[in-house]
A and B are shown apart, each in its own frame.
Chain A
Amino acid sequence: MKLVIIAGPPSAGKTAVTRQIIRHFLGTKKCAFLKIDVVRAFEDEELRDEFHIPARKIYSGDLCPDHTGVMVLKDAISWADGLGTDIFIVESAGLCLRCSPYVTQSLGIVVLSAVSGMNSPLKMGPMISLADVAVITKTDLVSQSEKEVFREKTKEVAPAIDIIETNAIQGTGLRYLMRSIDQQAEISDPSTIILRGIPPLGVCTICVGKREIGWQNHFGVVRKLDGADDIFRGD
């Protein structure tokens, strides 16, 4: 099973990109989907209805969504693998621009919107710099000049990143993204998967630098994929 992790700021077009990936592989590969969001999310229901694939969501509530991702990812990989999944897509809420949800043995995709302002790539650190691929959406809406400058700034943050420009609703230009997914290696050993980056300074186990995925490896605020709803205590 291949693991694809998609992150990016709200409204960048993560789900539009996810839809194109699922549509492209429909009929040849079995896809499964997990959405990690903070308060509400509907993508799992939409994708399940549209493509009839296994899809679920988890709310992070008072936790940081990337923290939640680390906690539940090991369970989630077992869930998807148990269903005979070929490509497991995890979409993160993408709220914190300091963290980044990408782990080893996965393809990390950051989705950025060309209309978010030419300096926006410079304001996002590891979410871009630790990704393998940057998909820049809505490029049909901005001038040639801004498109080129946006690309330069993304390269400034992550010189080696693979940049793909698209109108994700139409799916233009995504052939290179599909090729990257095709070429992505399968997960070799889930028990050795770790977060790629060093999380920000803090006091929880992930914050202090324990990068192993799975709630079994953490203490304090832990969360399992099943039955985690009651941890949410916010408004």
Chain B
Amino acid sequence: MSSGTLSEITILPGHDKHGNPEQFDQIVIRPGDTLSIVGPTGSGKTAFINDIEVFACNDTATGRTVLVNGEIPAEEFVRDPSKKPIALITQNTKCLADMSVEAFLAMHVRARKMSGSAIVAETIELANQFTGEQIHAGCRITALSGGQTRSLMVADAVLISNAPLILLDEVENAGIFREKVIEVLKEHQKSVIFVTHDPLVSLLSDRRVVMRHGGVEKILQPDGREVHIREMVARMDLTLCRFRERIRAGELLTEKGFTV
């Protein structure tokens, strides 16, 4: 399935941990959509994206069903990772192979039976837009930081996997440029679902799915109503980023007050 043939993914309701049916008709995700899944720990956020990742058909603990273009997807889209229209990147996802970044990406390109060496360089270039710590083609994969690894995996999902839907489970912990990731994913017409505790990521998403007791409690669509807070949080985030960079650079931060 190329990104061209995926027009929408539909999530049909299941039930929460107590067996109560979820109160929504359907959640439709189209190319370029950004969703955040929010809620306390244990509220079912990860289970929600796992349902999407395995294309649940009323056979998981939540009883949800996931459709592709309005239908139960063909078996090969579900089972063959090279045909699957979904890439899942979690906090636990690691690159274990002890090889160079370049060789690692080339290996994935070969597994996909794609041609051209340009895509490897493009992927590294894109990954470098997501992280402040430069990734070089000759770096060992196993020596990359958490942020570099996550950046590389997102870039790989966008360009090499070319997955139309990307699921990111709490990637904000890895210290990547979240705004840039969202911007690039939109640019490439990717849909993205964030499981997140991060205010900025939540506010940058088009829709927020609020989880409670294992079920979807409500779906918020701010439609611009949060713009003032979003801009404020973005400025706060930028300020924190700058402080972080200065601390990393070995500076003492001695300003007497700071305007956000």
Distance in angstroms between the alpha carbons of A145 and B93 in the assembled complex: 11
A sample of 29 cross-chain residue pairs with beta-carbon separation below 8 angstroms, ordered by A number, consists of: A117-B96, A140-B88, A141-B92, A141-B94, A143-B95, A143-B156, A144-B89, A144-B108, A144-B153, A144-B157, A145-B108, A145-B156, A145-B160, A146-B95, A146-B97, A148-B82, A148-B108, A148-B112, A149-B107, A149-B111, A151-B81, A152-B111, A163-B79, A164-B79, A165-B79, A165-B81, A172-B50, A173-B78, A176-B79
CB neighbours (8 Å) of A216 from chain B are: none
Residue B90 CB within 8 A of the other chain: yes
CB neighbours (8 Å) of B50 from chain A are: 170, 172
Considering the complex, give the chain B residue whose CB is closest to the CB of A117: B96
Distance in angstroms between the alpha carbons of A170 and B92 in the assembled complex: 14
Residue A1 CB within 8 A of the other chain: no
Add 11 more A-B contacts to A141-B94, A163-B79, A176-B79 (CB < 8 A): A118-B97, A140-B88, A142-B94, A142-B96, A144-B81, A144-B87, A146-B96, A148-B81, A151-B82, A164-B79, A172-B60
Distance in angstroms between the alpha carbons of A114 and B19 in the assembled complex: 34
Residue A147 CB within 8 A of the other chain: yes
Residue in A145, A173, A175 whose beta carbon sits within 8 Å of that of B107 in the complex: A145
Residue A95 CB within 8 A of the other chain: no
CB neighbours (8 Å) of A115 from chain B are: 96
Q: Are A143 and B82 in contact (CB under 8 A)?
A: no
Considering the complex, give the chain A residue whose CB is closest to the CB of B107: A149
Q: Are A173 and B54 in contact (CB under 8 A)?
A: yes
Q: Could you tell me which B residues sit within 8 Å of A by CB distance? A: 50, 53-54, 57, 59-60, 75, 78-82, 87-90, 92-97, 104-105, 107-108, 111-112, 153, 156-157, 160-161
A-B complex: 3 closest residue pairs judged by Cβ atoms:
A145-B108, A148-B111, A143-B95
The main secondary structure of chain A at its interface with chain B is helix
Interface residues of A, count at CB 8 A? 23
Within 8 A of B (CB), among A137-178: 140-149, 151-152, 163-165, 170, 172-173, 175-176
State how many angstroms separate the Cβ of B145 from the closest Cβ of chain A.
Answer: 15
Residue from the set A115, A140, A143 with the largest chain B CB neighbour count within 10 Å: A143
CB neighbours (8 Å) of A143 from chain B are: 93-96, 153, 156
Distance in angstroms between the alpha carbons of A123 and B252 in the assembled complex: 54
Distance in angstroms between the alpha carbons of A195 and B87 in the assembled complex: 40
Distance in angstroms between the alpha carbons of A159 and B112 in the assembled complex: 17
Considering the complex, give the chain B residue whose CB is closest to the CB of A151: B81
Distance in angstroms between the alpha carbons of A149 and B105 in the assembled complex: 11
Distance in angstroms between the alpha carbons of A154 and B96 in the assembled complex: 18
State how many angstroms separate the Cβ of A22 from the closest Cβ of chain B.
Answer: 16
Distance in angstroms between the alpha carbons of A172 and B104 in the assembled complex: 27
CB neighbours (8 Å) of B95 from chain A are: 142-143, 145-146
State how many angstroms separate the Cβ of B49 from the closest Cβ of chain A.
Answer: 11
A148-B112, A151-B81, A164-B79 known; A141 vs B54 contact (CB < 8 Å) = no
CB neighbours (8 Å) of B54 from chain A are: 172-173
State how many angstroms separate the Cβ of A140 from the closest Cβ of chain B.
Answer: 6
Distance in angstroms between the alpha carbons of A228 and B252 in the assembled complex: 73
CB neighbours (8 Å) of B94 from chain A are: 141-143
Residue from the set B90, B92, B95, B97 with the largest chain A CB neighbour count within 10 Å: B97
